[in-house]
Protein backbone atom coordinates (compact mmCIF):
# COMPACT_ATOMS: atom_id res chain seq x y z
CA UNK A 1 0.00 0.00 0.00
CA UNK A 2 1.26 3.46 -0.91
CA UNK A 3 1.69 5.84 2.01
CA UNK A 4 1.15 9.53 1.33
CA UNK A 5 1.63 12.65 3.40
CA UNK A 6 -0.35 15.67 2.22
CA UNK A 7 1.12 18.88 3.62
CA UNK A 8 -1.57 21.53 3.68
CA UNK A 9 -5.21 21.31 4.83
CA UNK A 10 -6.60 23.80 2.35
CA UNK A 11 -9.30 23.21 -0.22
CA UNK A 12 -7.35 21.28 -2.87
CA UNK A 13 -5.01 19.58 -0.43
CA UNK A 14 -7.98 18.14 1.44
CA UNK A 15 -9.73 17.08 -1.75
CA UNK A 16 -6.63 15.42 -3.18
CA UNK A 17 -6.03 13.63 0.11
CA UNK A 18 -9.53 12.20 -0.20
CA UNK A 19 -8.76 11.08 -3.76
CA UNK A 20 -5.65 9.27 -2.55
CA UNK A 21 -7.65 7.50 0.17
CA UNK A 22 -10.29 6.45 -2.34
CA UNK A 23 -7.51 5.13 -4.59
CA UNK A 24 -6.31 2.83 -1.79
CA UNK A 25 -3.48 4.85 -0.23
CA UNK A 26 -2.80 5.33 3.46
CA UNK A 27 -2.94 9.09 3.86
CA UNK A 28 -1.97 11.51 6.61
CA UNK A 29 -3.04 15.13 6.14
CA UNK A 30 -0.81 17.67 7.87
CA UNK A 31 -1.59 21.20 9.05
CA UNK A 32 -0.93 23.53 11.93
CA UNK A 33 -4.45 23.82 13.33
CA UNK A 34 -5.20 21.13 15.96
CA UNK A 35 -8.93 21.88 15.96
CA UNK A 36 -9.09 21.42 12.20
CA UNK A 37 -7.00 18.26 12.37
CA UNK A 38 -9.35 16.84 14.98
CA UNK A 39 -12.38 17.66 12.84
CA UNK A 40 -10.89 15.83 9.84
CA UNK A 41 -9.94 12.76 11.86
CA UNK A 42 -12.92 12.50 14.21
CA UNK A 43 -15.81 14.12 12.33
CA UNK A 44 -14.52 13.41 8.82
CA UNK A 45 -15.02 17.02 7.77
CA UNK A 46 -12.91 20.06 6.98
CA UNK A 47 -15.24 22.78 8.30
CA UNK A 48 -13.02 25.58 6.99
CA UNK A 49 -12.39 24.51 3.39
CA UNK A 50 -15.38 22.23 2.81
CA UNK A 51 -18.04 22.70 5.51
CA UNK A 52 -20.69 20.01 5.55
CA UNK A 53 -18.87 17.75 3.07
CA UNK A 54 -18.09 14.23 4.23
CA UNK A 55 -14.48 13.08 3.95
CA UNK A 56 -13.37 9.43 3.81
CA UNK A 57 -13.33 7.91 7.32
CA UNK A 58 -9.87 6.48 6.64
CA UNK A 59 -8.38 9.95 6.17
CA UNK A 60 -6.51 11.10 9.27
CA UNK A 61 -5.02 14.51 9.99
CA UNK A 62 -2.19 15.51 12.28
CA UNK A 63 -0.23 18.55 13.44
CA UNK A 64 2.86 16.38 13.98
CA UNK A 65 5.04 16.77 10.88
CA UNK A 66 7.35 13.88 11.74
CA UNK A 67 4.35 11.58 12.12
CA UNK A 68 2.84 12.77 8.86
CA UNK A 69 6.07 12.14 6.93
CA UNK A 70 7.11 8.86 8.55
CA UNK A 71 7.49 6.22 5.85
CA UNK A 72 5.79 8.32 3.19
CA UNK A 73 6.23 7.18 -0.40
CA UNK A 74 4.59 10.36 -1.67
CA UNK A 75 4.83 13.81 -0.12
CA UNK A 76 2.14 16.07 -1.55
CA UNK A 77 2.76 19.81 -1.26
CA UNK A 78 -0.47 21.81 -1.04
CA UNK A 79 0.42 25.26 0.28
CA UNK A 80 0.09 28.69 -1.39
CA UNK A 81 2.76 29.36 -4.01
CA UNK A 82 4.39 32.25 -2.19
CA UNK A 83 4.64 30.22 1.03
CA UNK A 84 6.27 27.15 -0.51
CA UNK A 85 9.92 28.16 -0.11
CA UNK A 86 9.56 29.04 3.58
CA UNK A 87 7.50 25.96 4.38
CA UNK A 88 9.65 23.51 2.45
CA UNK A 89 12.81 24.90 4.01
CA UNK A 90 11.40 23.96 7.42
CA UNK A 91 10.10 20.59 6.25
CA UNK A 92 13.09 19.40 4.19
CA UNK A 93 15.14 17.85 7.02
CA UNK A 94 12.30 15.40 7.73
CA UNK A 95 11.48 14.42 4.15
CA UNK A 96 11.92 10.67 3.51
CA UNK A 97 14.95 10.19 1.28
CA UNK A 98 13.25 8.25 -1.51
CA UNK A 99 9.85 9.95 -1.45
CA UNK A 100 8.32 11.42 -4.59
CA UNK A 101 7.47 15.10 -4.06
CA UNK A 102 4.11 16.00 -5.61
CA UNK A 103 3.18 19.61 -6.26
CA UNK A 104 -0.47 20.68 -6.34
CA UNK A 105 0.59 24.34 -6.43
CA UNK A 106 -0.22 26.61 -9.37
CA UNK A 107 1.90 29.72 -9.34
CA UNK A 108 5.22 31.41 -10.06
CA UNK A 109 7.46 32.62 -7.25
CA UNK A 110 7.79 36.35 -6.74
CA UNK A 111 11.34 37.63 -6.95
CA UNK A 112 12.85 34.55 -8.58
CA UNK A 113 10.15 33.84 -11.26
CA UNK A 114 10.73 30.14 -10.57
CA UNK A 115 8.05 27.57 -11.24
CA UNK A 116 6.99 25.49 -8.24
CA UNK A 117 8.90 22.37 -9.33
CA UNK A 118 12.03 24.52 -9.60
CA UNK A 119 11.53 25.81 -6.07
CA UNK A 120 11.08 22.24 -4.85
CA UNK A 121 14.24 20.88 -6.46
CA UNK A 122 16.25 23.86 -5.21
CA UNK A 123 15.03 23.88 -1.61
CA UNK A 124 14.69 20.13 -1.06
CA UNK A 125 17.90 19.38 -3.01
CA UNK A 126 16.29 16.58 -5.00
CA UNK A 127 16.60 15.66 -8.69
CA UNK A 128 13.80 16.80 -10.97
CA UNK A 129 13.02 13.13 -11.62
CA UNK A 130 11.72 12.94 -8.03
CA UNK A 131 9.17 15.71 -8.57
CA UNK A 132 5.66 15.38 -10.00
CA UNK A 133 3.24 18.16 -10.87
CA UNK A 134 -0.54 17.60 -10.77
CA UNK A 135 -2.59 20.08 -12.77
CA UNK A 136 -5.89 20.12 -14.63
CA UNK A 137 -9.54 21.15 -14.45
CA UNK A 138 -9.89 20.05 -10.84
CA UNK A 139 -12.25 22.28 -8.89
CA UNK A 140 -11.94 20.85 -5.39
CA UNK A 141 -15.63 20.89 -4.50
CA UNK A 142 -16.59 18.93 -7.60
CA UNK A 143 -13.83 16.38 -6.99
CA UNK A 144 -15.01 15.85 -3.41
CA UNK A 145 -18.53 15.34 -4.76
CA UNK A 146 -17.14 12.53 -6.92
CA UNK A 147 -18.05 14.28 -10.14
CA UNK A 148 -15.96 12.72 -12.94
CA UNK A 149 -12.76 14.67 -13.60
CA UNK A 150 -9.40 14.19 -15.27
CA UNK A 151 -5.99 15.65 -14.57
CA UNK A 152 -2.37 15.64 -15.72
CA UNK A 153 0.41 14.05 -13.69
CA UNK A 154 3.67 15.40 -15.10
CA UNK A 155 7.30 14.56 -14.43
CA UNK A 156 10.47 14.49 -16.47
CA UNK A 157 10.56 10.83 -15.42
CA UNK A 158 7.74 8.85 -17.03
CA UNK A 159 8.16 6.12 -14.42
CA UNK A 160 7.77 8.59 -11.55
CA UNK A 161 4.66 10.07 -13.16
CA UNK A 162 3.22 6.58 -13.52
CA UNK A 163 3.74 5.91 -9.79
CA UNK A 164 1.66 8.95 -8.89
CA UNK A 165 -0.88 8.15 -11.59
CA UNK A 166 -1.50 4.73 -10.02
CA UNK A 167 -1.75 6.27 -6.55
CA UNK A 168 -4.54 8.71 -7.43
CA UNK A 169 -6.59 6.85 -10.04
CA UNK A 170 -10.19 6.29 -8.92
CA UNK A 171 -13.50 5.65 -10.66
CA UNK A 172 -14.21 9.40 -10.65
CA UNK A 173 -10.68 10.82 -10.98
CA UNK A 174 -8.68 9.93 -14.08
CA UNK A 175 -5.01 11.01 -14.24
CA UNK A 176 -3.03 11.16 -17.50
CA UNK A 177 0.78 11.22 -17.51
CA UNK A 178 2.93 13.79 -19.28
CA UNK A 179 6.66 14.54 -19.33
CA UNK A 180 6.19 18.25 -20.13
CA UNK A 181 6.55 19.73 -16.66
CA UNK A 182 7.18 23.25 -17.99
CA UNK A 183 3.97 23.36 -20.03
CA UNK A 184 1.91 21.73 -17.31
CA UNK A 185 3.03 24.24 -14.70
CA UNK A 186 2.68 27.28 -16.94
CA UNK A 187 -0.83 26.28 -17.91
CA UNK A 188 -1.81 25.97 -14.27
CA UNK A 189 -0.19 29.23 -13.20
CA UNK A 190 -1.15 31.59 -16.02
CA UNK A 191 -4.76 30.43 -16.30
CA UNK A 192 -5.36 31.93 -12.86
CA UNK A 193 -4.39 35.36 -14.19
CA UNK A 194 -6.62 34.96 -17.23
CA UNK A 195 -9.48 33.93 -14.93
CA UNK A 196 -9.03 37.17 -13.00
CA UNK A 197 -9.48 39.06 -16.28
CA UNK A 198 -12.53 37.03 -17.27
CA UNK A 199 -14.01 37.57 -13.82
CA UNK A 200 -13.46 41.32 -14.09
CA UNK A 201 -15.28 41.34 -17.42
CA UNK A 202 -18.19 39.41 -15.91
CA UNK A 203 -18.28 41.75 -12.93
CA UNK A 204 -18.45 44.72 -15.28
CA UNK A 205 -21.51 43.17 -16.91
CA UNK A 206 -19.91 42.01 -20.15
CA UNK A 207 -21.31 38.83 -21.67
CA UNK A 208 -20.11 35.64 -23.26
CA UNK A 209 -18.48 37.23 -26.31
CA UNK A 210 -16.14 39.28 -24.13
CA UNK A 211 -15.39 36.42 -21.78
CA UNK A 212 -14.76 33.94 -24.61
CA UNK A 213 -12.46 36.42 -26.32
CA UNK A 214 -10.41 36.89 -23.15
CA UNK A 215 -10.24 33.16 -22.56
CA UNK A 216 -9.09 32.44 -26.10
CA UNK A 217 -6.53 35.22 -26.27
CA UNK A 218 -5.42 34.20 -22.80
CA UNK A 219 -4.68 30.74 -24.11
CA UNK A 220 -2.54 32.36 -26.81
CA UNK A 221 -0.57 34.18 -24.10
CA UNK A 222 -0.01 30.93 -22.22
CA UNK A 223 1.16 29.19 -25.39
CA UNK A 224 3.55 32.03 -26.31
CA UNK A 225 5.19 31.96 -22.90
CA UNK A 226 5.35 28.18 -23.06
CA UNK A 227 7.03 28.26 -26.45
CA UNK A 228 9.66 30.67 -25.15
CA UNK A 229 10.41 28.35 -22.22
CA UNK A 230 10.54 25.16 -24.28
CA UNK A 231 7.16 23.63 -23.46
CA UNK A 232 5.40 21.19 -25.77
CA UNK A 233 2.67 23.12 -27.66
CA UNK A 234 0.36 20.10 -27.44
CA UNK A 235 0.20 20.49 -23.65
CA UNK A 236 -1.80 23.70 -24.00
CA UNK A 237 -4.49 21.98 -26.03
CA UNK A 238 -4.94 19.39 -23.29
CA UNK A 239 -6.19 19.13 -19.72
CA UNK A 240 -3.41 21.21 -18.16
CA UNK A 241 -3.92 23.96 -20.73
CA UNK A 242 -7.31 24.50 -22.29
CA UNK A 243 -9.11 22.19 -19.85
CA UNK A 244 -7.91 23.96 -16.73
CA UNK A 245 -8.38 27.37 -18.36
CA UNK A 246 -12.03 26.70 -19.24
CA UNK A 247 -12.88 25.39 -15.77
CA UNK A 248 -11.16 28.23 -13.94
CA UNK A 249 -12.52 30.99 -16.17
CA UNK A 250 -16.08 29.64 -16.27
CA UNK A 251 -17.01 28.25 -12.88
CA UNK A 252 -18.41 30.23 -9.92
CA UNK A 253 -16.38 27.79 -7.79
CA UNK A 254 -13.18 29.30 -9.19
CA UNK A 255 -11.46 31.51 -6.63
CA UNK A 256 -9.62 33.55 -9.23
CA UNK A 257 -12.72 34.19 -11.34
CA UNK A 258 -14.66 35.13 -8.19
CA UNK A 259 -11.91 37.52 -7.14
CA UNK A 260 -12.04 39.11 -10.58
CA UNK A 261 -15.83 39.41 -10.49
CA UNK A 262 -15.59 41.29 -7.20
CA UNK A 263 -13.01 43.65 -8.68
CA UNK A 264 -15.26 44.26 -11.68
CA UNK A 265 -18.13 45.11 -9.34
CA UNK A 266 -16.07 47.84 -7.70
CA UNK A 267 -14.29 46.19 -4.80
CA UNK A 268 -10.68 47.07 -4.08
CA UNK A 269 -8.04 44.34 -4.14
CA UNK A 270 -8.08 44.26 -0.33
CA UNK A 271 -11.87 44.05 -0.20
CA UNK A 272 -11.96 41.27 -2.80
CA UNK A 273 -9.42 39.30 -0.78
CA UNK A 274 -11.42 39.68 2.42
CA UNK A 275 -14.61 38.57 0.66
CA UNK A 276 -12.97 35.42 -0.72
CA UNK A 277 -11.49 34.04 2.54
CA UNK A 278 -9.20 31.79 0.47
CA UNK A 279 -6.06 32.14 -1.64
CA UNK A 280 -6.50 33.26 -5.24
CA UNK A 281 -3.08 32.28 -6.58
CA UNK A 282 -3.30 34.52 -9.63
CA UNK A 283 -3.34 37.66 -7.50
CA UNK A 284 0.18 37.20 -6.14
CA UNK A 285 1.63 35.29 -9.07
CA UNK A 286 0.56 37.76 -11.77
CA UNK A 287 3.52 40.14 -11.31
CA UNK A 288 5.96 37.20 -11.27
CA UNK A 289 4.43 35.79 -14.46
CA UNK A 290 4.69 39.17 -16.16
CA UNK A 291 8.32 39.48 -15.05
CA UNK A 292 9.02 36.00 -16.44
CA UNK A 293 7.44 36.98 -19.75
CA UNK A 294 9.40 40.23 -19.91
CA UNK A 295 12.65 38.38 -19.24
CA UNK A 296 11.98 36.22 -22.29
CA UNK A 297 10.64 38.96 -24.55
CA UNK A 298 7.08 37.57 -24.56
CA UNK A 299 4.17 39.99 -24.98
CA UNK A 300 1.32 39.17 -22.59
CA UNK A 301 -1.16 42.06 -22.83
CA UNK A 302 -3.94 40.52 -20.74
CA UNK A 303 -1.54 39.62 -17.96
CA UNK A 304 -0.02 43.11 -18.12
CA UNK A 305 -3.41 44.75 -17.71
CA UNK A 306 -4.37 42.47 -14.81
CA UNK A 307 -1.16 43.51 -13.06
CA UNK A 308 -2.09 47.17 -13.57
CA UNK A 309 -5.35 46.53 -11.72
CA UNK A 310 -3.76 44.51 -8.92
CA UNK A 311 -0.60 46.51 -8.37
CA UNK A 312 -1.41 50.01 -9.57
CA UNK A 313 -5.08 50.25 -8.65
CA UNK A 314 -6.26 50.93 -12.20
CA UNK A 315 -10.02 50.45 -12.64
CA UNK A 316 -10.99 47.24 -14.52
CA UNK A 317 -13.09 49.25 -17.00
CA UNK A 318 -9.97 51.18 -18.03
CA UNK A 319 -7.92 48.08 -18.79
CA UNK A 320 -10.66 46.67 -21.02
CA UNK A 321 -10.42 49.86 -23.05
CA UNK A 322 -6.65 49.48 -23.26
CA UNK A 323 -6.96 45.92 -24.54
CA UNK A 324 -9.56 46.82 -27.16
CA UNK A 325 -7.54 49.81 -28.33
CA UNK A 326 -4.41 47.82 -29.16
CA UNK A 327 -3.17 47.75 -32.77
CA UNK A 328 -5.21 45.41 -34.99
CA UNK A 329 -3.25 42.39 -36.20
CA UNK A 330 -3.78 39.00 -37.87
CA UNK A 331 -4.93 36.43 -35.29
CA UNK A 332 -1.83 34.28 -35.70
CA UNK A 333 0.39 37.29 -34.91
CA UNK A 334 -1.79 39.00 -32.30
CA UNK A 335 0.07 39.87 -29.13
CA UNK A 336 3.52 39.36 -30.54
- Cα separation, 259 vs 197, in Å, equals 10
Q: Which of 179, 77, 89 lies closest to 128, judged by CA?
A: 179
The sign of the CA dihedral 50, 53, 54, 55 is negative
Question: Which residues lie closer than 8 Å to 170 by C-beta, 6 or more apart?
Answer: 19, 22, 23
Q: Is the dihedral of CA 145, 150, 152, 158 positive or negative?
A: positive
CA angle 125, 164, 122 (to 5 degrees): 15
Known catalytic residue: 191?
yes
The Cα 116–Cα 84 span in angstroms is 8
Kindly name the residue from 106, 191, 284, 329 that is annotated as catalytic. 191
| Alpha carbon separation from 336 to 119, 297, 299, 308, 321 (Å, rounded) | 29, 9, 6, 20, 19
Q: How many CA atoms are closer than 13 Å to the CA of 120, on its beta-carbon side?
A: 29
**What is d(CA 173, CA 163) in angstroms, rounded to the nearest whole number?**
15
Task: Count how many Cα atoms sit within 13 Å of the Cα of residue 13 in the half-sphere of its side chain.
Answer: 29
CB 287 within 8 A of CB 307: yes
Residues catalogued as catalytic: 191
Amino acid sequence: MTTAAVLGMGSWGTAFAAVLVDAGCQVRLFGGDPVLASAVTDRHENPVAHPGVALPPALVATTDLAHALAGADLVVLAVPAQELRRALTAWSPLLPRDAVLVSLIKGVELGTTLRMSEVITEVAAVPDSSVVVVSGPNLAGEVLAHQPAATVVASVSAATAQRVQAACHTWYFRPYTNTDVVGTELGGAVKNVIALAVGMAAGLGFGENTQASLLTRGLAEIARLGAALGADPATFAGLAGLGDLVATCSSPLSRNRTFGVNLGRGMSVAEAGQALHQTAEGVKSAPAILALADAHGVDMPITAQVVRVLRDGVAPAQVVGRLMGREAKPEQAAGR
